[in-house]
Amino acid sequence: MKNDSIPRHQRPTKLRTFLFGCPYYPEHWTVEDRRDDPQRMAAAGMNVVRMAEFAWDRIEPARGQLDFSLFDETIERLGKVGVSTILCTPTATPPRRMTVDHEDWMRVDENGRRMDHGSRQHCCTNNEEFRAESRRITQAMAEHYGANPHVIGWQTDNEFYCHFSQCHCPSCRRGFREWLRRKYGTIARLNAAWGCAFWALTFDDFDQVPLPYPNSNRPTHPNPTHELDYYRYLSDSLIEFQRQQVQILRAANPNWFITHNGMFGHIDYWKFTEDLDFLGVDVYPGFLRNMPADAVHTALWNERCRAASGGYIVPEQQGGPGGQRPYVHRTPAPGQMRLWAYQSIAHGADGVLHFRWRTCRFGAETYWHGILDHDNVPRRRYEEFSREGAELKRIGGKILGTVLDVQAAVLVETEQDDAHTTLNLHLPSPSNQRDLAFSEMWRRHLPCGLVQTADGLAGLRLLVVPSMPLMDDGLAGKLRAFVEGGGLLIVTARTAIRDRDNQATPMTPPIFLSDLCGVSVEEFGKCPAGEASFRLGGVEVPCGEGYEMLGLRGAESVGIWHAPKDAGPFAPAGQPAVSIRRVGDGEVIYLGTYLSPGNVGAVFDLALHYAGIPSLADAAELVEVTRRVKGGGGARPNSGVVPAYTFVLNHYATQQEVRNLPEGADLLSGARCDGKLELEPYGVAIVEEG
């Protein structure tokens, strides 16, 4: 997959077959329950299942006693009807003997409470003895299935850090100290980087460094750089845990693809994905979507994965109402399950596996519904699922090798949100600003997405830096090159206020970016959103949850602060609020406040005046429009580069008209599109341009 000549977010998966199927749990079912599964799966158009992520106790009922018979039989039966298998390393649910006999392997929460058996992810991935057991079971499975023609790939573990990330066990304490030794070399360097002169925090030795417990056992807050380094350690140590499994799997069969199903906190997915062929993301719109407008949140969930991976797959796509003890999702309306699957595909997924094949009759997820119900009777979800399967069998080969067309993007980086967490001041986070910026572009039907700070920026025309607190020379240089090459950069308030040690510096913000932006931030303050306003493009626009008074250092003011006299101490009336500066062939817009629902539209009106990026179609806001183009980027409207596919998804429960689409054939209906479409409620169209 690796090709450094193009941005990672523009790389296809290189899968040969579009994957369609379900996670499957033969260990939950009797022979009679499973009897008709292969035929029903084949009839529904399935070509893959995912198995064994929670089956360690079935595969190894006693230590050293391996029993693969159930999975051997299942893999063979499914393989005979054309359904391949993705196996999983079962390390998210180690057997009870590892709890009973090894209490020191258990995770410990911030209050010192040790985890116990009865759920999942209870063993600490930083415990060396548990790591050895994880390598052992991975090795056994890899050797057993290394030559099996029906096993096509692997998923590592399951949803790392889904429930628990900040472990405080002795293994983590030792591991964190070793990580610090490798990073800093001497305790003096650590003391300087952390600013330990404050509050007499100076350490004499790495062995004195504790884990940064929250306030429960201290009078007040922890050192913010101590905390940020702990989050970095959580990510790096987990990457090493996964890498040990990946190395075993690649040695057993280099033709297997290897993936994982994210996306959760305190994991640098850019680094995490370097060991994988592509990343996966589990998509459950039921957690996020009660109204049509919530569809943008699921788009963002997909985009976080695509930004780290390029092409990706969805190992778990919602197939019915999900529910555990305290909640149950709204039941997807007829057509919504299919719509949600195509939304993932529209953002670059090359495989969709609906969770799960059959609803389990016991356990914590008794009412987490799958394609079939408890009674094993196919109903409307199976019929809708089968419709997807038939369509993807027909068109999947066309979509493979294409990636999302992204011309407008928002930068993302895990470390920026972690740094904000350490000194959040109850102000908007980078992810909050990311979501507002992306949502505005999404509603305008722009070719938009998320891009990692470590990625290449080739092909982008507009880029948003969403209140990212940390800045360095390297990232600043990349942003300058983007602007000089003709890009439009939007920088929102409280960007570049600290260095990579999470410390403020003698430089006036935005540090490292002041010359590029042509401004200096002379004063900052918090205020309620809308308390002050600024005039932009002849319109009075409300401020976000803070203000900055800008000194112009080569930029031109395009927005002036207005504030009532009793609005507080800042009273920035007449001072610049928004600036623009031309640099090389591009421009930089600096916004001296946070984006908010009340001002984001006006900000993008200004930005698009300069960037000139046309919408992909004319449609109601919640009709989603994306475009997949030939892998590697570069395909643009009227460029003559094919293939190119415009996806149109109706998130409304009513019929919608869409205009100014490319002409071509709708892959799903076969009808000719002359630039206009009528979409049924929750309907989907994919226009093959040309």
Q: Give residue 85's pLDDT.
A: 98
Q: Give residue 450's pLDDT.
A: 98
Q: Give residue 635's pLDDT.
A: 40
Q: Give residue 4's pLDDT.
A: 52
Mean pLDDT of 169-177: 96
Q: Give residue 1's pLDDT.
A: 36
CA atoms within 13 A on the CB side of 450: 29
For residue 214, name the pLDDT band (cuts at 50, 70, 90).
Answer: low
Q: Give residue 3's pLDDT.
A: 42
Q: What single-letter DSSP state applies at residue 456?
A: -
Q: Give residue 219's pLDDT.
A: 76
Q: Give residue 99's pLDDT.
A: 83
State how far the Cα of 288 lies from the Cα of 307, in Å rounded to an integer: 20
Helix (H, G, I), strand (E, B) or coil at 150: coil
- Residue 639 reports pLDDT greater than 60: no
Of the candidates 399, 358, 398, the one whose C-alpha atom is nearest the C-alpha of residue 44 is: 358
585 touches 537 (CB < 8 A) = no
Helix (H, G, I), strand (E, B) or coil at 535: strand
Strands lying side by side in the sheet with 533-536: 448-452, 408-412, 462-465, 488-491, 586-591, 576-583, 556-562, 533-536, 539-542
Mean pLDDT of 281-307: 92
- Residue 638 reports pLDDT greater than 50: no
Across the chain, what does the average pLDDT equal? 94
| Percentage, residues of the chain above pLDDT 70 | 96
If one counts every other C-beta atom within 10 angstroms of the C-beta of residue 112, the result is: 11
Secondary structure E strands in 298-369: 312-318, 323-324, 327-328, 349-355
| Percentage, residues of the chain above pLDDT 90 | 87
Domain boundaries, the chain: 170-227, 408-445+462-611, 623-689
Per-residue model confidence as pLDDT tens digits over 320-354? 999 888 999 999 999 999 999 999 999 999 999 99
If one counts every other C-beta atom within 10 angstroms of the C-beta of residue 10, the result is: 27
Q: Give residue 421's pLDDT.
A: 96
Per-residue model confidence as pLDDT tens digits over 83-117? 999 999 999 999 999 888 898 999 998 888 888 88
**Region of 459 on the Ramachandran plot (φ > 0 left; ψ -120 to 50 alpha; else beta):** left
Least confident window among 524-528, 626-630, 660-664:
524-528
Higher-pLDDT residue of 127 and 635 is 127
pTM of the model: 0.96
Per-residue model confidence as pLDDT tens digits over 389-430? 999 999 999 999 999 999 999 999 999 999 999 999 999 999
Per-residue model confidence as pLDDT tens digits over 182-199? 999 999 999 999 999 999
Q: Extract the tokens encoding 221.
A: 């807050």
Per-residue model confidence as pLDDT tens digits over 645-674? 999 999 999 999 999 999 999 999 999 999
Mean pLDDT of 362-383: 96
- Residue 567 reports pLDDT greater than 70: no
State how far the Cα of 298 lies from the Cα of 439, in Å rounded to an integer: 11
Instruction: Label residue 294 exposed, middle or buried (CB < 10 Å: 0-12, 13-18, 19+).
Output: middle
- Residue 494 reports pLDDT greater than 60: yes
CATH number at 408-445+462-611? 3.40.50.880
Per-residue model confidence as pLDDT tens digits over 228-242? 999 999 999 999 999
Of the candidates 265, 357, 300, 308, the one whose C-alpha atom is nearest the C-alpha of residue 74 is: 357
Q: Extract the tokens encoding 2.
A: 């690796």
Least confident window among 83-92, 211-220, 349-358, 533-542:
211-220
Mean pLDDT of 526-541: 90
State how far the Cα of 128 lies from the Cα of 140, in Å rounded to an integer: 18
Q: Give residue 216's pLDDT.
A: 57
- Fold designation for 623-689: Immunoglobulin-like (2.60.40)
For residue 564, name the pLDDT band (cuts at 50, 70, 90).
Answer: confident
For residue 217, name the pLDDT band (cuts at 50, 70, 90).
Answer: low
